[in-house]
Amino acid sequence: ASDRNHSAYLCGVEHYKATNFYLAAQSFSEALEYWLEDSQAWFALGNCYDEMGSPRKAEQCFRAALEHSPPKKLPDVYYNLGNSLYDQNQFAAAIDFYRMIPDGHQAYVDAQKNLSRAGELNEKRKAEQTDAVDHSHGLS
């Protein structure tokens, strides 16, 4: 099973590099059939779903990757999971993950930019919700 997992994973990497995200996702899914705890395959599958515009599926994969990733890989997962949540307009949750990325990590600067933008959008949403409630109660 280990050899089959590795072979399917490598095939997925080749498809991903060729920007064939559908075939890459199939290969990474196959790798997971042989070893469900493969954090790299979960992470890669999440990246495929992200590229294909399916942030909800990407989120599920990144959450699975969180369960199986070694500590040194967690900031990468936090960043991608934050992005998937951001893409679903779940700004507060995205902020939580962006904040978990340590200063000095390769994704830190981008995470800080995304955190700032997510904060702005979250505040805008809160203001719009407050306005909507005020208008529904005749408080304009």
Token pair recorded at residue 26: 């199939």
For residue 131, what pLDDT is reported?
Answer: 75
Q: What Å distances lie between residue 81 and 14, 21, 77, CA to CA?
A: 23, 18, 6
Residue ranges of the chain with per-residue pLDDT less than 50: none
Q: How many CA atoms lie within 13 Å of 113's alpha carbon, on the beta-carbon side?
A: 3
Token pair recorded at residue 108: 């830190």
Closest CA to 48 of 20, 86, 7: 20
For residue 134, what pLDDT is reported?
Answer: 66
For residue 35, what pLDDT is reported?
Answer: 97
For residue 140, what pLDDT is reported?
Answer: 53
Enter the pTM of the model: 0.90
